[in-house]
Amino acid sequence: MVYVVIGLVLVLIIGPVIAVLPSQRQKEQMALRQLAMGLGINVELTSIADPVPKQDKYISSLGKSLDPILKVIAYRKARKMPDEWRRATMVNWTIERRLESDDDDLPPSWCWVDERPATLPTEFVTHLGTALVELPIDVERVEEKNRTLSIYWHERDDSDAVRRIDQFFEGCMVALNATSGVGSDDQEDRS
């Protein structure tokens, strides 16, 4: 009887300690986020409006409709300010993955939220059309606001996906800076 009591006490002491240890999936996510931060990417837990809001998962067990919100992880990287930043115009844009898409300048299942900004350079839109295909399949949205590129995704992939996201950011920055003249002096300095 004493051994049973000692066993129960040990279970009551050790059980909560084991419960707070991170799972294997949480360890993998931490490794992805550390890799991303090492590459200069800011990581943030956030939520966005679901691009496909009319789903059964947004109805409660009582039949009440719920807000179509997705909990995602935002990977963000800021672009360099142009030398003449006071005269530079900021172009904010957002694209997201949807079931149906009718945008000719983007790959299938990707579309502009609202509409494509008229001031967005055609060369960049062409680059965007080819680069979106390389992103992980669980990326929900890509946007630029206030010269910061953001990717919203679920982190269901491995470290190779983080490197592809970093390459996407770098490719977008090169394409945007080439059309606006930013970074041309930097390229000469590196040579």
**Per residue in 106-163, pLDDT tens?**
888 888 888 888 888 888 888 888 899 889 988 999 999 988 999 999 988 777 899 9
Structure tokens at 87: 């005269």
Query: Distance of CA 98 to CAs 40, 48, 64, 102, Å?
Result: 29, 14, 24, 10
**Whole-prediction pTM value?**
0.78
At 178, is the pLDDT very low, low, confident or very high (cuts 50, 70, 90)? low
φ/ψ (deg, to 5) at 111 = -150, 160
Residue at token pair 């299938």: 108
Give the C-alpha separation, 29 to 74, whole Å.
Answer: 13
Tell me how far apart the alpha carbons of residues 191 and 176 are, in angstroms, rounded to a whole number: 20
Query: In whole angstroms, what is the distance from residue 100 CA to residue 77 CA?
Result: 28
pLDDT at 26 over 60: yes
What letter does residue 2 receive in the DSSP assignment?
H
Question: What is the model's pLDDT at position 191?
Answer: 38
Which neighbouring-strand residues pair with 46?
Answer: 72
108 vs 49: CA distance, rounded Å: 20
- Measured from the Cβ of residue 61, the count of other Cβ atoms closer than 10 Å reads 5
- Look at residue 188 in the predicted model and tell me its pLDDT: 42
User: Which comes out higher in pLDDT, residue 140 or 100?
Assistant: 140
Q: pLDDT tens digit string along 42-94? A: 999 999 888 777 777 777 777 788 788 889 999 999 987 766 666 666 788 89
Written as one letter, the residue type at 167 is: Q
Is the pLDDT reported for residue 184 higher than 50?
Answer: no
